[in-house]
Amino acid sequence: MRLLIDRMAVVSMHGGLVLLAACNQSETITDHMQEHFSQVEATRAAVIGGDLDAAREAARWLSRHEATEGIPEGWGQHVVQMQLAAQRVVDANEIASAAAATAEMGAICGGCHQGMDEGAQFTVVAPPPEEAGVVAHMLRHQWAAQRLWEGLVGPSEEAWSRGVAALAEAPLQPTESPEEVEELAGRVHELGAAAGEATGFIDRAKVYGDLLTTCAQCHRLMDAGPGTRSRVPGTSGG
């Protein structure tokens, strides 16, 4: 099964996996999984934008949503784990805590997919060009962050590796941007190196949660809105 890597493609992946795992189940199961993942994505987008209230609101739905009757055997544990992680977002008092729990939700999605032996093959678009300047640099950060997210959720070793490779480029040079931005950009590159060493869902979720926190800090510092991120080729934020 091949799919694009934007948000709707990943949502479609959930629907496809549901049909593969339980083709005789009611259509409501497919609807359930699509809506479930859309709320995970809404939570992640809010965290990236530094909007803790919006993240809590999206996660609140996940924390309360019950499993659809007739779900395949073994899915129940993942639903419970998702509810608990979502509740941690709801209870978060800072972006860092919400980011960690959001990354955990991504890992739960990946664990569910892996448990069904249905990994996803991603068609990855080319990254933004390696041009000078802070804007071009941040666009590549966003592209890389999206690949890491797909690697976690898929799970996909290829997507994760592409994200790591994109963050291995040279950091911003002094005077190209405000000192605070340079420090945060440097932190992103450090996390890219950590991502290259991370194996398993727990370690990768930890790295990705730290990356979400750093992205949120930088976006708030630069006052970068969702519209800016949505224009990055091959991304839905990050």
Q: Give kind and range of the element (H or E) at residue 110.
A: helix 95-115
Nearest to 41 by CA among 222, 221, 212: 212
Nearest to 171 by CA among 158, 188, 155: 188
Q: Is residue 58 part of a domain?
A: yes
Q: Is residue 94 part of a domain?
A: yes
> CA-CA distance, 181 to 188, in Å (whole number)?
11
Which structural domain, as residue segments, surrounds residue 150? 2-230
Q: How confident is residue 227, by pLDDT bands cut at 50, 70 and 90?
A: very low
- pLDDT of res. 47: 96
- pLDDT of res. 148: 96
In one-letter notation, the amino acid at residue 29 is I
75-79, 90-94, 135-139, 217-221: least confidently modelled range: 75-79
- pLDDT of res. 121: 57
Q: Is residue 236 part of a domain?
A: no
- Burial readout 6-31 (b: 16 or more C-beta within 10 A, e: otherwise): bbebbbbbbbbbbeebbeebeeebbe
Per the structure, the count of domains in the chain is 1
Q: Is residue 235 part of a domain?
A: no
Question: pLDDT per residue over 36-85, tens digit each?
Answer: 788 999 999 999 999 999 999 999 999 987 655 555 566 667 788 999 99
Q: How confident is residue 232, by pLDDT bands cut at 50, 70 and 90?
A: very low
- pLDDT of res. 128: 82
User: Average model confidence (pLDDT) for the chain?
Assistant: 77
Residues 6+ apart with CB under 8 A from 138: 185, 218, 222, 224
- Coil, strand, or helix at residue 146? helix
Any idea what DSSP says for residue 1? Answer: -
pTM recorded for the entire structure: 0.77
- Flag whether pLDDT at 181 surpasses 70: yes
- pLDDT of res. 126: 81
| First-last CA distance in the chain | 25
Residues 6+ apart with CB under 8 A from 24: none
**What are the φ and ψ backbone dihedral angles of 54, each rounded to 5 degrees?**
-65, -35
